[in-house]
Structure 1
Amino acid sequence: MSTSWGLCKDCKWWQIEPKASVKNSTMGLCIDDKMIKFKLRVSGNSGCNRFMEGKPAHAKGSSGQPPTAKPTR
C-alpha cells in the first residue's frame, strides 16, 4: 500500500468498462484487495490513501449499480 493519496483515474486498483475513457466523470470499481468486498463504485476524480500509480484495469460490469465485474488483476 502506498502512503500517498491519489486519484482513482491514475490508480492500478481502479477498474472501468472495456471501452471507457479515463476521465474524472468515468465510473468504475475499486479492486484493491482490502476494498473489493465493499464493491465501491467510484469516479475517476475519487481518491484515497491506498493509491498505487498505474493504468486502470478493464472488465465488463465495472460501472454497474452495483458493480458486477470480478477483479481482473
Structure 2
Amino acid sequence: MSDSWGLCKDCKWWQIEPDATIADQTVGYCIDNKLQPFQIRITGNGGCNRFAPGKPARAEGSSDKPPTAAPQR
C-alpha cells in the first residue's frame, strides 16, 4: 500500500455539502486537480493514493449526480 493512501473523509480533496456530517457514508466529490474531469462522487470511507490530509472542502451541489459544485480549493 502506498504511503500516500488514505480515506476520503480525512482528505482535503474531498468536497461535501455545507451542512453534511463527515462520516463513512456521506457522499462527496473528489476535487483533486487530476481527477476533477471525471466528476468522481465517493463516500467518506472510499480512498485512493492521491490522499492529502486535511479537512474536506464544502460547497452546495457536491453530492449532486453529477456534482454541480465548483471545486473550492
The answer, yes or no, to whether TM exceeds 0.5 is yes
Which amino acid in 2 is paired with 1:68? T
The match for 2:14 is 14
1:13-60 CA distance string (max 9 Å, x none): 000000000000000000000000100000000000000000000000
The residue that corresponds to 1:57 in the other structure is: 57
Does the 8 A contact of 1:3 with 1:50 survive in 2?
no
**Alignment: residue pair count:** 72
| Contact 1:9 1:56 (8 Å CA) reproduced | yes
**Residue 72 (structure 2) aligns with:** 72
The aligned counterpart of 1:40 is: 40
Superposition CA RMSD, Å: 1.1
Q: What is the letter of the counterpart of residue 58 of structure 2? A: H
Structure 1 residue 3: Cα displacement: 4.5
**Which blocks of at least 5 consecutive residues in structure 2 are unaligned?**
none
